[in-house]
Amino acid sequence: MNGNAVSIVAGYNGAGLGISSAYTAIPISQSRPGSVSNAVDVYNATSMRIVSQTHAIRYTGPVNNCAGVIRSAQSDWNLTPNGTISATSANATAPTGNGVCARLYDDTGAIVAYAPLGTEILYIDGPSANPQAIGPNSVSCRPEQGMTIRLAHKTGKFESAAVRNIPPVVAWYPNSTSTTLATLAHFYPSNTVNQPCVLAYDNDWVSQLAILESVNADASFSIESCVCVEYVPSSGSPYYPLTTNGPPANPSVINAVQKAISDNGTAVPGILNGRA
């Protein structure tokens, strides 16, 4: 945060960005793109369903000089499969020959390796304009108020999504389909214990863009996510004997929730939800 603007895409249209350390620790070797370990999914699930999700931004910095604004508006972002890696290198030296490769960076910006062959590529398909330029219909509030973002659902169908036990490469741009060497950028922090990866995603959720704009230089924020997910463990999972069949969808409850979100807005100042 540099005191100007920081953008956050809340939920990435319902992307399950790994499992938090409250449930399981994800070692670096198991979250790196192309890892063959199933440990990124503690349930060894084959499918999952995102039921609801809420994201809260809370100001945790000093109050006496708090400045700036939190702004949020709905945006159009999707995660889209776009082939697999066909050229690789186990170190920072670029692969030779034709194919598609993905650079893996550490937290200093240095290239440490290239994603292995066969790794799935997901690209983030978003607005081509500046992602920090949100429209005049955005919701704004003071940082000390905080903000609660409740993602709306596009279809109301709540379809199951495939669980990706092998972490994919996530890139900002669609991959070139030419025969020349196409390079995709992928940020991969290397010096912390728990790493995020895309476990599953559902593009039927409306994404929300949030901006921390012109905040004080010593500002800090806590971003809290609450996502309700229904997993379908595989028969070999130790959790399988504990599972039960989920109840059928209740359209009246779904409609009531969606109406509340529509009436009150997908983003509201946190103080309106009883949060200071």
Structural domains counted in the chain: 1
Q: What is the pLDDT of residue 110?
A: 77
Residue with token string 């199933």: 38
The model's pLDDT over 18-37, given as tens digits with 9 standing for 90+, comes to: 333 344 555 666 667 777 66
- Backbone CA torsion sign across 199, 22, 160, 235: positive
CATH number at residue 207: 2.60.120
The model's pLDDT over 99-109, given as tens digits with 9 standing for 90+, comes to: 888 887 766 76
Residues found in the chain: 276
Q: Which domain holds residue 244?
A: 5-273
* pTM to 2 decimal places: 0.72
Mean pLDDT of 47-73: 90
DSSP annotation of 64 reads T
The model's pLDDT over 36-48, given as tens digits with 9 standing for 90+, comes to: 665 556 677 888 8
Who has greater pLDDT, 274 or 121? 121
The model's pLDDT over 151-162, given as tens digits with 9 standing for 90+, comes to: 888 888 888 888
Indicate if the pLDDT at residue 67 is higher than 50.
yes
Q: How far apart are CA 185 and CA 102, in angstroms?
A: 6
